[in-house]
Amino acid sequence: MSEFIQVHDIPASGTSDPSRHFLSRKVFAGVLGFLLMGAILAPIAQNWRPTPRDSFPFSYYPMFSAKRGDSYVVNYMVGLDGQGNRHTIPFRFAGSGGHNQTRRQIYRLVREGKAAMLCEEVADKVRSDAEPVYSHLVTVQVVTGEFRFDDYFNGNKTPVKERMRAACQVTRSEQAKEVGH
C-alpha cells in the first residue's frame, strides 16, 4: 500500500498576511498625509497673533493676507525722444536678473542716492543697444512714481505723483546716428 503524504501551505515564521501588509501601508500613508496637512495649515494660526512671525518653511502667507494700500510706489526708467515723448525703458537695461530682482536693485540704488549712476549705466546700454526701437531716445530719466491700483488695473497707467531722481543724455557719435543707433 502506498501512503500519500498530504502537504499543507503553512506560512514560514516571520512572514505576514498580504492583507495585513496592505493595511499597515495605508495607515502609514494616512498618518503621513495627516502630518503634512498639519504642517501646511499650522502657520495660519499666525494670522491671529498680535505680531505674527513669518519664517521659512512655515510661512503664514503674508503676501496674500497683508493689508494693501490704495497705491504703490515704484522706481523705473523713462526715455525721452527728440520731441519730448516718453517711452518706458524695460528693466532689462538696469540689470540682468529677473524682473523682481532688478526692481529691488533699482529701488536700493535710488534709496542709496545712486540714481545718477544708474541713469548713466542705462543710457550707455540704450546707446549701444542693437534694437532700433530705442535709437531715437535722447534722454534717460530714473523716476519714482506712485500709482493707484484701481486706476492702473482699469487701464489708466498715469502715475498719481512722479519724482525724477536723475536724468542724463544719450549721446551718440555722428557715425552711429547715420547707421541708426
pLDDT at 5: 62
pLDDT, residue 58, reads 63
∠ CA(66), CA(71), CA(73), 5° rounding?
Answer: 100
**Angle between helix 115-128 and 99-111 (nearest 10):** 130
What pLDDT shows up at residue 61? Answer: 63
- Give me the tens of pLDDT residue by residue for the chain, a chain 181 residues long: 556 666 555 555 555 577 778 888 899 999 999 999 988 787 777 777 787 776 666 666 666 666 778 999 999 999 999 999 999 999 989 988 888 899 999 999 999 999 999 999 999 999 987 677 888 999 999 999 999 989 998 999 999 999 999 999 998 765 344 444 4
| pTM confidence score | 0.61
User: Where exactly are the structural domains of the chain?
Assistant: 18-64, 68-179
How many beta carbons lie within 10 A of that of residue 138, not counting itself? Answer: 16
- Tell me how far CA of residue 4 lies from CA of 1, 7, 75, in angstroms: 10, 9, 95
Three-state secondary structure readout of 89-120:
ECHHHCCCCCHHHHHHHHHHHHHCCCHHHHHH
Give the C-alpha distances (Å, rounded to integers) separating 27 from 31, 38, 63: 6, 16, 36
Return the residue matching grid coordinates 535709437: 135
Strand order of the sheet with strand 137-148? Answer: 86-89, 71-81, 137-148, 161-169
> Which one, of 92, 95, 106, lies nearest residue 145 by Cα?
106
Longest dimension (CA), the chain: 120
Backbone angles phi, psi at 152, to 5 degrees: -60, -45
HSE at residue 153, side-chain half, CA atoms within 13 A, is 6
Q: How deeply is 140 buried, as exposed, middle or buried, from its count of CB atoms within 10 A (0-12, 13-18, 19+)?
A: buried
